[in-house]
Chain A
Amino acid sequence: MQQEVVLAMLAKEPSQGYQLRARLDQALGPLGEGINAGQIYVTLGRLEKAGFVAREGAATEEADRKAYVLTSAGQERVTEWLNEVSWPRPDLAEFHLKLVAAAQAGLGDPIAIVDAQRRELLRRLREVQRAAMDEPNGSDAGLLLEGIVLRLQADLRWLEACERTWTDRRRNR
């Protein structure tokens, strides 16, 4: 589980571990069934160690009764992450959760996030396309580049769908 996702889920309000889990479940639907409860606590621990979250509540309470809360460093990291537009690996779930978190926490406009990502991908597409066209027909590089183009195209289509859905949600609120 990506650290930043957990961080962002805390941005809405301090939560206990099981509450976080519930929220993730809801956002991921059937895909959430694979999440190991333990993984969340592990991530939380790391985040605490890194100073992004802190625990609230009396020291004497059980681990899973204490609420986790974002530190200011954590806040910063969340904001930063929300505005990041890199796409290191095609990870739909992460982007999807980013949108959900942003909407729930009121930290950012999901549509703006989508647009920003789209923009980035389009620029990439342009670059890759040019590179592909410069390649002679049938070269290996050309084949790889064609593959990237197609994936980018697919991702762009999904982003368009995201934009449509989130716009409709906003309109119907």
Chain B
Amino acid sequence: MNRSTETLVRARGLRREYGRGESLIRAVDDVDLDVATGETVAVMGPSGCGKSTLLHLIGGLDRLTGGELWLADRRVDRLSERALAELRCRQIGFVFQAFQLMDELTAQENVELPALLAGQSPRRARRRALELLERVGLEDRARHLPAELSGGQRQRVAIARSLANDPPLVLADEPTGNLDSTATLEVLRLFQALHETGLTLVVVTHDERIAATADRLISMRDGVFVDETRLTGGTGGSLADFVGLRGE
């Protein structure tokens, strides 16, 4: 994918339906979405609103029932499983709520896996993995198994893994869903830092704090977008006023 394209993700009329007739469920119901390169977009909504499904559709982990999807001006909704795999390998990094690390592999072995899949030499892959682990602050845990890591650490390993092949787009599904507040903070910092490197990030979350790191926040309910807020562009009034320090 070309990093210089302006709109990295373009979706029109996305639909994902289950069942039929009486029991038809529209998990994602005619959604349009544009994500610019370098943007962080957060999608919020109550559970069952279809936000995770939406993310799976964008990442090719699930098949559209209808609509069109472009990634960097390339139409991807009709691609074969094999082509999608290529895409996921090099262009898209995925972060799961349940981490989905391999239990029997150490942190560094987990992180280097996408690089190995992309055909890199084991040495380069290992070096890249260590770099990434350092970036997420876990270089001293490189040889630990997931079972020996805390929830926040595991998610950081997962984030590092998603960056292994330096993808332009990272999709994160409830990245702090299973984490306590300290761990959430760790992940928050990371996302902030990643955003500053120009990564395009689409995050699905119900945590306002994660959502607040985004440039744009989309609210979703019952499979449709109901609201969109631009969070960049400052707020009026000083923080002190806001907090009530200067009294009324």
In the complex, are there CB atoms of A and B closer than 8 Å? yes
Residue of A86, A87, A118, A129 with highest tally of chain B CB at under 10 A: A129
Given A88-B241, A133-B188, A125 and B235 contact (CB-CB distance below 8 Å): no
- Is B188 in contact with A126, judged by CB distance below 8 angstroms? no
Nearest-neighbour CB distance to chain B for A110, whole angstroms, equals: 14
B6 at the interface (CB under 8 A from A): no
- Is A86 in contact with B248, judged by CB distance below 8 angstroms? no
- Is A149 in contact with B209, judged by CB distance below 8 angstroms? yes
Binds A, one of B28-36, B129-137, B167-175, B211-219: B211-219
Residues of chain B within 8 A of A122, CB atoms compared: 208, 211-212, 217, 229, 231
- Is A124 in contact with B244, judged by CB distance below 8 angstroms? no
* Tier of interface size on chain B: 20 to 34
Contact of A156 among B208, B213, B239 (CB under 8 A): B208
In the complex, which residue of chain A has the Cβ closest to the Cβ of B242? Answer: A124
Residues of chain A within 8 A of B188, CB atoms compared: 129, 133
Nearest-neighbour CB distance to chain B for A131, whole angstroms, equals: 7
Residues of chain A within 8 A of B237, CB atoms compared: 86
Nearest-neighbour CB distance to chain A for B207, whole angstroms, equals: 8
The 23 sampled A-B contact pairs (Cβ below 8 Å) are A86-B237, A86-B242, A88-B241, A88-B248, A89-B244, A115-B229, A119-B231, A120-B235, A122-B211, A122-B212, A122-B217, A123-B231, A123-B235, A125-B208, A125-B209, A125-B212, A126-B213, A127-B234, A128-B239, A129-B188, A133-B192, A153-B209, A156-B208
A148 at the interface (CB under 8 A from B): yes
Minimum-distance CB pairs A-B, first 4: A125-B212, A126-B212, A123-B235, A156-B208
Residues of chain B within 8 A of A65, CB atoms compared: none
Given A122-B208, A129-B212, 20 more A-B residue pairs with CB atoms under 8 Å apart are: A88-B241, A115-B229, A119-B231, A122-B211, A122-B217, A122-B229, A123-B231, A123-B234, A125-B212, A126-B213, A126-B231, A127-B234, A129-B188, A129-B213, A131-B239, A133-B192, A148-B243, A153-B208, A156-B208, A164-B46
User: CA of A156 to CA of B231 in the docked complex: distance in angstroms?
Assistant: 14
Residues of B within 8 A of A (CB): 46, 188-189, 192, 208-209, 211-213, 217, 227, 229, 231, 234-235, 237, 239, 241-244, 248
- Is A124 in contact with B235, judged by CB distance below 8 angstroms? yes
A157 at the interface (CB under 8 A from B): yes
User: CA of A53 to CA of B70 in the docked complex: distance in angstroms?
Assistant: 58
In the complex, which residue of chain A has the Cβ closest to the Cβ of B215? Answer: A126
